[in-house]
Structure 1
């Protein structure tokens, strides 16, 4: 398939759930998410590929080369953040579909039939914006999260994952494909590749991630009639916690740690009532696990001080902790070799963001590739990657997948290497 057809498909999908400022809003298991899933299904069925949906809503398109053989799996996710970008996740799924189609064309044209099968996946709820935690579908697939427990997770409106998937017709029962390897291509969501004019990043490891689920409990009272000295304002306490989460990075080397609070809910959320409860989630990430643990310890102490000083109860729970993941050296070397042969060039790069490949790397040899992001922005409508970089990435993924189909990473020794590093 041509670069033109890929770009046409990419921009067609970008119109689903499009926002006024050229972003998308396709949160997991919404009507907009369903439309992208229907697009994925139509692409696969038009080519005669089998389509499956598993019990957590992961969607697969299967290409059979060798009956009974396991699959090399390619893909990413089609769901987005609220008011998110049109490249994050969707680029990787559409690139994988086009790479698969190109590989089928190679075999049809007479190239050696692979000894492994091929599949493309659209993972459910990678973003976690509606249903936390993120990377849900691939983590269930990899056995890192319990399927039944995840199906009972509810959004802020009280709708469960089970109910939402059922509503859009994607609560599946199909068997999950057996896999021998996984490859994913994604926008970088950072500025390294752009700054260095490098078209491809070969991911070597992921940052350590730690979230804190924080509940601030005060006392509901009248905003006008309650004396300031008598107030136990949960929102004021939460504001102080948020500032501490932001400031904790200053106690470490520059850029060694990133932190944020991205979600906050309060009760009763009335303009004339002092808040009685605030719930928020803090996010800490660093290349070095010990940096995150030190930041966590500091925050726990400071949060306790805030609670004591204001007469508040503040409960903190560890949430969504992810260790560093080191990708197989053989896969990184394969990516570097392919990039050189294609005249692209690649550099090794870490991922600060979480991706489905982080989960998949726990169970199968995995290759993670990046293309440049303009200005490094992501999870916003301004997110952008150039057409020429996207097209180069499809070429890259196609060739990496072809070699993986030939067994480049799935020999037993390399499987053991990947498992040892996880």
Structure 2
């Protein structure tokens, strides 16, 4: 039952029920700084998964888990029909924000239930069913790579490879999932379309006073694992000329990565070095090895490739200056890729009918929708982030924006269930 005459929501009050559920969800893994710490397959993740399981089943959904821990809440209105899938992820970064991912899952749960209730009240049947998904390990902090659950679901990452992946303590994904009891044998639903809503994690929408971002394409990204090897020695007595300081070499590489962005003029380039481990990490020992992660992103693939080449070209000089060896290996990445234009148009019309301002935009961050768009018609939407803060305990989005985004997602899900995107695509 598509709802072309949707009541405008631009000036309505926030949805109290939605906000109450969000407050409950935010209590799992809550930190003293106002954020959350619930990395994939930890105790806090188990608690929030159990809460979502109860929420969904209480409203008539069947909850199932696939072989890599993706959590699906299936609202089956038309037995045998494919599903409109909507969701995001509940796992967080260490000392992360309450909104990243979690808002999208909760908004999807509310939107799916609202849409199903509409059909029930009208006595009509949609073309497609709807399912809510909580993707496993989107953040990629405890287990690498990021977007793991959706990568397995879309066939981009073998399930055996994902399950064998270990965290820094040596625990495998499979062992962690079995410990919290959310691994199953469900193959996943037959997906007719996918919809995801997320906080922007930037400040374009806030700066422009726009309520909704309609994602029409992705930035490209390249991620690297770097190992710098030197030689362990005494910090005091070792002659400076004899030192092979891995941390010194790593520091030079950190500077080189930052300078790539500072020197880029033709296109935007975002660069970062994160997650560093040092051996032996003693106050009186010159480091023998440093491992770290390098992240490069740009809206232009050729420019990004050139930046990666410049980084590689800087390695020999760093090796010579620090008397170390540097291993730079690309672990994964993705290119600039469009989201289906038909989905952008569908979401734009729904936003207009609700009286919500909107604009097209690219996504710089990776999301599960970046994987899903390659296997099903997909729609990605953003709501504003206060001051663009993300992956930080201070992350925030206004209550009214949370409600408006959920209203829009409801309309989008309703239309997708009716098969509107099938017509639009033609």
Note whether the superposition's TM-score is higher than 0.5.
yes
Deviation (angstroms), 1:56: 0.5
Out of 87, 94, 104, the position equivalent to 1:92 is 104
Asked if residue 101 in structure 1 is aligned to residue 113 in structure 2, the reply is: yes
Out of 290, 295, 308, the position equivalent to 1:296 is 308
Greater CA drift, 261-270 or 355-364: 261-270
Out of 70, 73, 81, the position equivalent to 1:58 is 70
- Work out whether residues 200 and 345 of structure 1, in 8 Å CA contact, stay in contact via their aligned partners in 2: yes
Give the whole-Å Cα distance in 2 for the aligned partners of 1:361 and 1:75: 13
2:220 equivalent in structure 1: 208
Structure 1 pair 333–256 and aligned structure 2 pair: CA distance change class (3 A): same
Give the whole-Å Cα distance in 2 for the aligned partners of 1:50 and 1:322: 33
1:150 equivalent in structure 2: 162
**Gaps spanning 5+ residues in structure 1: where?**
418-422
Out of 4, 9, 14, the position equivalent to 2:26 is 14
Asked if residue 409 in structure 1 is aligned to residue 400 in structure 2, the reply is: no
Asked if residue 134 in structure 1 is aligned to residue 146 in structure 2, the reply is: yes
Question: Alignment partner of 1:124: what SS?
Answer: coil
Give the whole-Å Cα distance in 2 for the aligned partners of 1:324 and 1:165: 33
- Structure 1 runs of 4+ aligned residues shifted over 6 Å read none
Give the whole-Å Cα distance in 2 for the aligned partners of 1:39 and 1:324: 36
Q: Give the TM-score normalised by the residue count of structure 1.
A: 0.96
Aligned pairs, how many?
Answer: 413
Deviation (angstroms), 1:166: 1.2
1:358-410 Cα distance to aligned partner (Å, 9 max, x none): 00001000000000001011000010000000000010000001000111224
Deviation (angstroms), 1:209: 0.3
Greater CA drift, 77-86 or 323-332: 323-332
Greater CA drift, 66-75 or 266-275: 266-275
Greater relative contact order (Cα < 8 A, sep 6+): 2
1:71-110 Cα distance to aligned partner (Å, 9 max, x none): 0000000000000000000000000000111112111211
Give the whole-Å Cα distance in 1 for the aligned partners of 2:125 and 2:343: 22
Question: Alignment partner of 1:318: what SS?
Answer: strand
Question: Alignment partner of 1:327: what SS?
Answer: coil
1:420 equivalent in structure 2: none
CA RMSD of aligned residues (A): 1.3
Deviation (angstroms), 1:297: 0.7
Give the whole-Å Cα distance in 2 for the aligned partners of 1:39 and 1:233: 49
Give the whole-Å Cα distance in 2 for the aligned partners of 1:322 and 1:152: 23
1:321-348 Cα distance to aligned partner (Å, 9 max, x none): 1111210000000111000000012100
- Work out whether residues 211 and 356 of structure 2, in 8 Å CA contact, stay in contact via their aligned partners in 1: yes
Question: Alignment partner of 1:409: what SS?
Answer: helix
1:193 equivalent in structure 2: 205
Deviation (angstroms), 1:308: 2.1
2:369 equivalent in structure 1: 357
Out of 178, 193, 212, the position equivalent to 1:166 is 178
Give the whole-Å Cα distance in 2 for the aligned partners of 1:207 and 1:304: 29
Deviation (angstroms), 1:270: 1.3
Give the whole-Å Cα distance in 2 for the aligned partners of 1:97 and 1:356: 16
1:200-248 Cα distance to aligned partner (Å, 9 max, x none): 1100001000011111010111222211111100011001100110111
- Work out whether residues 217 and 277 of structure 1, in 8 Å CA contact, stay in contact via their aligned partners in 2: yes
Give the whole-Å Cα distance in 2 for the aligned partners of 1:183 and 1:138: 13
Q: Give the TM-score normalised by the residue count of structure 2.
A: 0.95
Deviation (angstroms), 1:255: 6.4
- Work out whether residues 65 and 115 of structure 1, in 8 Å CA contact, stay in contact via their aligned partners in 2: no
- Work out whether residues 267 and 303 of structure 2, in 8 Å CA contact, stay in contact via their aligned partners in 1: no
- Work out whether residues 92 and 186 of structure 1, in 8 Å CA contact, stay in contact via their aligned partners in 2: yes
- Work out whether residues 180 and 410 of structure 1, in 8 Å CA contact, stay in contact via their aligned partners in 2: no
Question: Alignment partner of 2:421: what SS?
Answer: coil
Question: Alignment partner of 2:292: what SS?
Answer: strand
2:131 equivalent in structure 1: 119
Question: Alignment partner of 1:264: what SS?
Answer: strand
1:219 equivalent in structure 2: 231
Asked if residue 72 in structure 1 is aligned to residue 81 in structure 2, the reply is: no
Deviation (angstroms), 1:139: 0.8
Give the whole-Å Cα distance in 2 for the aligned partners of 1:293 and 1:378: 26
**Gaps spanning 5+ residues in structure 2: where?**
1-13
Give the whole-Å Cα distance in 1 for the aligned partners of 2:276 and 2:80: 48
Question: Alignment partner of 1:209: what SS?
Answer: strand
1:234 equivalent in structure 2: 246
Out of 337, 355, 376, the position equivalent to 1:325 is 337
- Work out whether residues 256 and 287 of structure 1, in 8 Å CA contact, stay in contact via their aligned partners in 2: yes
- Work out whether residues 245 and 299 of structure 1, in 8 Å CA contact, stay in contact via their aligned partners in 2: yes
2:3 equivalent in structure 1: none
Give the whole-Å Cα distance in 2 for the aligned partners of 1:340 and 1:174: 38
